[in-house]
Each structure stands twice: as structure tokens, then as C-alpha cells.
Chain A
Amino acid sequence: MARIICPYCLNSQTFTRNNICEHCNQEVPPKYINSAKKRVPVWLVTVGNKQHGKTTYVDSMAVTVENLGKIAEGTYYSYLDTYTFDQIRQMRQEVQKGILPESTQSLETPQPLLINIHNFLGHEVNTLAIFDLAGEIFDNRSEIGRYATAIRHAQTIWFLVSLDDLIKDQEGRSISDLFEVYLAGMEQLGASIRGRNVLIVYTKADKLAQILPDEIRNYLRHDPYCNLKQMKRQEAAAHLLDDYAYEQEMRRVSDALEDFTYNDVEGGIALINMIKSSGMNLSFAITSSLGQDAAGRQMGTEIQRYRVLDPLIWALTLDRGSKHETEVAILMDAGDGCETIYQNDLPAQVYDELLMRGADATSYYMGQSQPAYQLGQRPTEGFPRRSGIRLIGPILDQLPKQVFAIALTTGPIMDLYDFFGTTWYDRLLVVNLSSEMTHWPHIMPFEVGQHDPQDLVNTLFQLINSKE
């Protein structure tokens, strides 16, 4: 049975009896639970310094979502709880009046916006859980962990950067500083970053006209959806979204923005190298949420929003692998010396991380062909009741071709080499907790206390995604 993450306290559970979270006792919207059962929510976190345009972008994105049905057939949205509805209504009013939103308030536990988008990009439903975090917390490295627990769960992070504000920044911050603060936060949370997606979103693009390459300027200028809110039916029908073509163009512009960052942005080379060497996947987007400079705090003109759709589409496509259909077998060592695995509850930690990524798992003890824990059952703490030989063949041989496996072992697996050159070659990740060498193309050393189970699952998902 699929485990679902409560959007308020971020703990996972099955919600079999009712829609009350058993951890925080809050009522979770039934629509959220129902859609999360079909497809894992897309967790989005906006990260960026004060006044760099995060909240303005989220405002604009919400307005865009409301009008997506004009250009994508059958698409509609729903706000899943009162908080989201109230926030969006407030944003809508402010946008309609041309008022810029106030800076995001720091909250002990940030509340997400919960939005369902139906029939978009080939999916019956996508649930967005959007955390818009206060800019100030990123100015204080020691504070980021306390406020930014939501970051831990987000597979895709939006780094919103106003290059114009950065250039004028009197505190001397560079673009790479932003990422370093994020890294510090993740370290504080004990969370692994490997395999996550980073989307650098250059905001306030209207202020960058002088420095942007022609290709990017033209891309912004020729956004067919810059006036989506005002678009009438006939005009919209002539500009229906070809999501494949749009995505291709987005990727092309992402490459161009990476070149621009490398060549023309102070600290850009360091940023790119830092992100890539950390094992994260890097993409770029550029937007103008207001279309023109905001004079003071009020504007009286109709807003045109350029490429506001891009970060949303990036988030939904980068998160493509998060389906409950992904099935994993956890193979647990039950041989001599296996205590290390169970003392620190590693199988359960791996299971929880898999769940976060939308996978379901069945757990086996090596040397035993029947599951120790059925699909959807969390492996409980404790040593196996009987020791087993480190054999995985009788387990792997019975698994269907779409299943992946992660083997947690403290010694050599007797029949591992049987699977060289078979379809398991790219479906099995061996996690080696011993110092003995094991030869396998996908192997990770692991030391309890030194390594993060999230690393293991991220690596496994790299295998999974490479085969899709």
C-alpha cells in the first residue's frame, strides 16, 4: 500500500483509516491523498535571497496555472486546502491591483501551497506542493536548517536569482554564495544532494536586456503566452501548447543560459562546477514575472509575464520518475557480520527514502526466496530470525523485468557474478558495508554514520532514470 507524505508535517503514512495525519493530527485534503496515491506530489522549494523575486514569481505562476486550460486541452486546476485558496486569492487581488506582495514572513513550519493540475503534460494529475521560503533565512547559515526542512523533501530546487539585484548587492554576495548556503542547509539537515535537480531561474529578466545574448532576449520577447491571462479563446486556440516542442526549446535555452552564466556572470563558473561536482542535475530558466520594472510598490498597468511557464514545466518534467509504479527489491544481508545493517536500521531508512521518491519496495533476506516484508511493508528493526547465505539468485530470478534492486551487504555475495551480462547488470545496486572488494558495475561503499541512505536511493534512481 502506497505511503503518502503529509504536506504539513512531512511524515509518511498510509491514510487507510481516514484523512487525519497520525503525526500532526491535521486534516489532510482528501483530494491530496487521492492524487498522491496515483502519482507522488512534486515538491517544489523556492530558494533565493531577499527581494530577488521569489514570491512574485510564485504569484505569477499561480495566475498562469489558472489559465493553463486555455492552451492545454482538458487542463484544469484545484486548490486543495483553505490556506492555499486564501493565499492565492490574496495574491490574485494584489496582482489585479498591481501591488507587489510583501516579503515572505519567516515561519517555524512553512506551509505549502497545494495545487492539483489535471490533464497536463500527459498526466491525469500532478500535485504541486510549493514552499516559498523567506529570503532572510538564507542570509543566516545557522538558521537555514531550522526553517527549511521542506528543502530536504524537494527533489527539485528552484534557485531564483535576480542578477540585477546581485550586481547591485552591497554586501558583496555572488551567485555561488547562494548555493553554498543551500549546501550548508542540507548538511545541517543531514540530507544528501546527489541526484537532485537544481533549476537556476533568472528573475527580473526585463532588467537584464543590456547583458543578455540575443538568443535569450528573443526567446523572452517571443513568448506566446506572455499575456495568457488576457488571452481570448480564439487567440488561445491558435497557440495551443505543443509540450514536446516547448520542452525542446526550453532545453536549448537552458544550454544557452549555462553558457551565459559561464561567460558573463560573476561567480558563474564556480557555481556551475560546484553544482555539477556535487552530483546534482543543473538546468536554467529565465523569467520576467512583471514584464517591466516595478516602480516603488505599486503598478497600475496590466502585467505581462514572460516565460513564467518554464520553471513549472521544468519541475514537472525533471520529476518524471516519481511514480508509484517504480518497484524496488531491497535485499538484506542475513549472513555473518550483518549486524551493522540492522543496528542502524538501514533497511528501513532505505525504504523510507524510496517512498519519498515514489517507489514501492519489497524486502528480502539474502538466501531466502520468500519476501521478509511484502510490497509496501516497512522493514522493521531487528536482526533476521535465521541467518542466510549471501545468495541473491533465487530472489532476482523470480522478479519481473521492471523491478530494480538494492542489495545491502557486509560480505561477498556468492552468486553476484552470475548476473554479469544479464538484464540485472543495470538494475542492481550493491551497497557494500564491508572493506572487502566486490566487483560490480553499480556498487557503493557505505559506512554507517558517514554516508546518507538518501545517497543510495539517489544513485539507484540514476539507474532507474537512465533506463527510462
Chain B
Amino acid sequence: MAMMELQVKLDPIGFPMIWIERCAFYIHWLPVTKIQIEYFLSSPTNSMNEYDEAWYQNLCRNYTGRISPGQLKSGNYWRAFVTGMLPVEAKRFAIWCGRGGYDLLTVQEWMDAFRYLSQVQADPAYIEQVTAVEGLKERPRRLIRNLEGVLQNEASQLEGARSLADQMLMRLGVMEFVYVNEQRNTFAGLGQTHSSFFGGFITPSKGPQTLTNPAEGARMKHYGFRLICRS
């Protein structure tokens, strides 16, 4: 497929999302990062302290520790993403981003996006496009560029050629919570982790991972999420 012109917007925190025409939604360029969750924790609407320091420190200590964009390496880069959250907490974050506008993906939506983006060959120019968007702050810019720099060398972990979907870490990111179906009340997992992080045997081509407790999910160190926005 020829080089695409990405349509990029920023989420309320300032992290990029790209438009997928055939899916009719914007999708986060990356799985949700710890930086984004920290914005959520710092916002005035978190004044009830429903998510407080103890909650966040639990995630960082017992699931994946925090890492700065400048410290990413092939053996630790996944720590940039938030893991260990429950699906209900991920939904709460989505509501905070914008009620009705932001949400987790369904299995179908995730697979549709993945299939489409997998057809697009990876290219450094896409990183340039995304990081050139007006309003992007230094930290996300640095994170995106450094992730690309690390992952370019991890292609051996992948089945097939590296694609735009891989630049967006739909593989070699985290396992992502998704809704099982349009009813949006049970959850499964899609994605692929790096073998040094967690197994790496589950790939999108094998379909969604069934959870032990699909209604509530569980805190798992290799599970995170990304969001879509339909407007």
C-alpha cells in the first residue's frame, strides 16, 4: 500500500490518535501510558480520591514499574504503558477523557483496525507525521520516537513483516482489554507481548484471549488498553 497521509488528533491529555476511515473512529497511537494515567490522577475531577497514590503505587510496584521516555530499552519499554488496571478502571478513564466519545474497543473493532493497519508497511515517515502534529508535548513526542527506535530492532519477535500496526504497538505492546461484543459488558484480551515481558505466544492471529472472569477481568501485569474516539 502506498504511503498514507495520517489524520491525527490529540486526546484530551495530548496523546495522538489516528483516524481509520473504514472503522469510522480515531484510535490511540499507543496503548494508554502511565503519563496519561498520571494526568487522570492529577485532575480536579479526581478530587474524591477514588484513584489515589496508594492505588497508583500498587500498579507501579506490583505490575510494571514506571519508566521515563529517555530510559526505554528492548528489555523494559513496555513499562511505559499502564498495566494492572481492571477493565472497570479503564472504562472510568475513558469516561474521564470524554463521556460517550471515548471508549475501549470491541474484539471486532480491534481486529478490523489491526487487519487494516497490518496491510500498511511500517515507515519512519509515519512517526514523523504523528510527532509533527501541532500541540504535541515533549514527553509524548519523545516517547513515540524512542519506542520506534527500540522496536525497529525487535522485528524478529514478529510473524511477518513489520507494519503500521506494529509501529502502533498492536503487537509487542501489551495485551489489551477489549469488549467481547457490542453489548460491552464482558471483556477479552487482544495483542501480543514481547517474549521478555510475558510469554509472547499469544498473537492477534490466534484471536482474542478468553479471561477467567470476563465480566470483571483481573489485575494482570501484561494487560493494558487503548481507546477509540468516534468524533
Binding site for B on A (CB under 8 A): 335, 367-370, 386-389, 391, 393-395, 397, 414-415, 417-423
Contact = CB atoms under 8 A, between A and B. Distances in A.
A282 to B, nearest CB: 37
Q: Is chain B's binding surface mostly helix, strand, loop or mixed? A: helix
Contact of A420 (B43, B49, B70): B70
Given A389-B56, A415-B35, A418-B70, A397 B47 contact: no
A367 B41 contact: yes
B190 to A, nearest CB: 29
A397 B143 CA distance: 14
Interface string B123-165: 0000000000000011100100000000000000000000000
Contacts of A335: 53
A420 B53 CA distance: 24
B219 to A, nearest CB: 19
Interface residues of B, number: 24
Contact of A415 (B14, B44, B68): B68
A264 B68 CA distance: 55
10 contacts: A369-B39, A369-B44, A386-B49, A391-B42, A414-B60, A415-B66, A417-B68, A417-B70, A418-B139, A423-B138
B151 to A, nearest CB: 20
B208 interface: no
B69 interface: yes
B53 A388 contact: yes
Nearest to B40: A394
Contact of A422 (B38, B44, B138): B138
Task: Give the 4 A-B residue pairs with the shortest CB-CB distance, closest first.
Answer: A394-B42, A417-B68, A369-B42, A389-B53
Contact of B47 (A386, A387, A393): A386
A341 to B, nearest CB: 17
B137 A397 contact: yes
B68 A420 contact: yes
Given A394-B42, A397-B138, 4 more contacts: A394-B43, A397-B14, A417-B70, A423-B138
Contacts of B35: 393, 415, 418
A418 B69 contact: yes
Contact of A394 (B39, B60, B66, B71): B39
B44 to A, nearest CB: 5
B139 A397 contact: yes
B38 A394 contact: yes
Given A393-B35, A417-B68, A417-B70, A367 B42 contact: yes
B69 to A, nearest CB: 6
A397 B70 CA distance: 16
Contacts of B53: 335, 367, 387-389
Contacts of B44: 368-370
A458 B225 CA distance: 46
A335, A387, A393, most chain B CB atoms within 10 A: A393
A414 B37 CA distance: 13
Contacts of B38: 389, 391, 393-394, 414-415
